[in-house]
Amino acid sequence: MQVRQGLSTGFGFGLWQTPRKRQSLFLFILLFLFGVIVTNHVTLVNQTREQNNLASLYKSRQEELAAATAQYDSLKAENARLLEVKEETIARVLSQEGQPGLMEELKRMQALAGLTDVTGPGVTVTLNDKPGYDVIRDSADAIVHDSDVRHVLELLKSSGAAALSVNDQRITNASYIFCIGPTILCNMQRLTPPYVIRAVGHDPASMAMSVQIDPMLSLRQTPEIGLVVSIEPSDQVTCPAYAGADNLSQYIDKLEVPAA
């Protein structure tokens, strides 16, 4: 028994033999637990505060977006009204001057230039990235590039498309399409996938077939790559007017012939 007591004391268990030492140990444990509780509480409060701040910021941005969207819709409607007034004024002046036929010619030129809405038989081609695309695991061919959009537009043109649009942006001679990071810029507008390409033409079946049998697009749709291409012919497809129809001077001022 004496040997066992000596071993116990030698291994430090004598700490519990005095009340003061036991109190010090208990106080240390209580303070440690209190510190852990306070730390967890402060962390939780900070996380809650950050979440509330993020929620408030998100709500604020949503309200700003809603206000900007409403303002855009209002300005768009006002612009359409002013364009109608402009057309009516031009028609009245031409009629007063005895040139009513010029208005019809002007409308025909506007339609050919893409400055008016066009509705007729056509096809809708939608290009989209591979679902669940992984930048590390998947090929770069699994996402839509600006060259893909231009390629489809050329296929549709060569098969009889008379009017084209991409995500409701009318394609004209002044249009350009190129990548900016993960987006595509068209007519000064950033577009994101899916890219909905609409084409109006007399032979929707021929336009649809030109995209369907294209070797490059067929290869990109294989399971190994996974690009998504959908084709939908229709009796009624609308390509909207070119968005910059009321500000064409920016494209033609440098083409004017200087006076001799």
Contact (CB, 8 A) for 187 and 244 = yes
Q: What is the pLDDT of residues 168-203, one digit of tens each?
A: 999 988 888 999 888 999 988 899 999 999 999 999
Specify the length of the chain in residues.
Answer: 260
Q: What is the pLDDT of residues 60-92, one digit of tens each?
A: 888 888 889 899 889 878 877 887 888 788 888
Q: Give the per-residue pLDDT at 77.
A: 86
Contact (CB, 8 A) for 152 and 197 = yes
Same domain, 128 and 207: yes
* pLDDT interval class at 9 (50, 70, 90): very low
Same domain, 82 and 1: yes
Between β-strands 169-170 and 118-128, what pairing exists: parallel, antiparallel or unpaired?
A: unpaired
Residue 254 belongs to a domain = no
Q: What is the pLDDT of residues 232-258, one digit of tens each?
A: 999 999 999 887 666 655 555 555 555
pTM for the predicted model, two decimal places? 0.67
Single residue among 94, 112, 130 that ends a domain in this structure: 112
101-112 vs 19-96: helix crossing angle, rounded to 10: 150
Domain that holds residue 186: 119-239
Counting the structural domains of the chain, the total is 2
Same domain, 86 and 60: yes
Contact (CB, 8 A) for 242 and 172 = yes
Across residues 155-179, what is the average pLDDT? Answer: 93
Same domain, 106 and 165: no
Same domain, 91 and 169: no
Residue 219 belongs to a domain = yes
Q: Give the per-residue pLDDT at 251.
A: 55
Same domain, 54 and 162: no
Same domain, 107 and 128: no
Name the β-bridge partners of 237.
120
Residue 144 belongs to a domain = yes
Same domain, 197 and 126: yes
Closest CA to 171 of 183, 161, 182, 159: 161
Q: What is the pLDDT of residues 118-148, one digit of tens each?
A: 999 999 999 999 999 998 999 999 999 999 9
pLDDT mean across residues, the chain: 84
Same domain, 9 and 98: yes
Residue 103 belongs to a domain = yes
Same domain, 107 and 124: no
Read off the CATH number of the domain in which 152 is found: 3.30.70.1880
Single residue among 112, 143, 166 that ends a domain in this structure: 112
Single residue among 78, 112, 146 that ends a domain in this structure: 112
Q: Is the pLDDT of residue 22 over 60?
A: yes
